[in-house]
Chain A
């Protein structure tokens, strides 16, 4: 089992749609969680941190479920500019350990 698993997609959605990504992790001692966005041939950029209480930033909502060891990202009212690959990142869990998921590809179409 991979340490961090994501559905690779691609997810093809129309503008205005709501889309959700899930990510599971294997190390129950993991301590911090993030979602990054990566555009084609660019570097990953931090989208948001993920907390147990959940957090929201505009159209984006991230949730953490420690009991089931998964995190989620919800994008509401999708825009064309949301088209990118979304990376799930899990940090901590006994010494240094940062694991990047392979990413979920999103295409938003007009």
Chain B
């Protein structure tokens, strides 16, 4: 089955630790995205990538980093510099970054204490 996978589903970390969230897609999509969603809020774009080895900051990139070494993979690292890291993180992909609809993975719920 084609789709997007994110792991783990739930993640708990202590403050001050970096943590990396996994996102993999086998849809052969060029574009991939990371969003953050806080309770009762809309999606906010963290980073996006239109093609391998290239990525751009979204609206709230501070405290996060990404890489896009393979078309299928777009991991997100939440660093200790992110002041409020507890949130629901969603990865998405699209055939291209222009007009195509995005498809989402099941998300990772990160709790930092």
- In the bound assembly, the distance between CA atoms of A89 and B101 in angstroms comes to 9
Q: Interface size (B, Cβ < 8 Å)?
A: 23
Stretch among B12-20, B42-50, B66-74, B76-84 lining the A interface: B42-50
- In the bound assembly, the distance between CA atoms of A51 and B106 in angstroms comes to 27
B101 lies within 8 A of A42 (CB): no
A34 within 8 A of partner (CB): yes
A43 lies within 8 A of B98 (CB): no
Min distance, Cβ A76 to any Cβ of chain B, angstroms: 23
Min distance, Cβ B59 to any Cβ of chain A, angstroms: 10
Residues of B22-42 whose CB lies within 8 A of A: 33, 35, 41-42
Chain B neighbourhood of A34, CB < 8 A: 101
Minimal Cβ-Cβ distance residue in B for A30: B99
A43 lies within 8 A of B106 (CB): yes
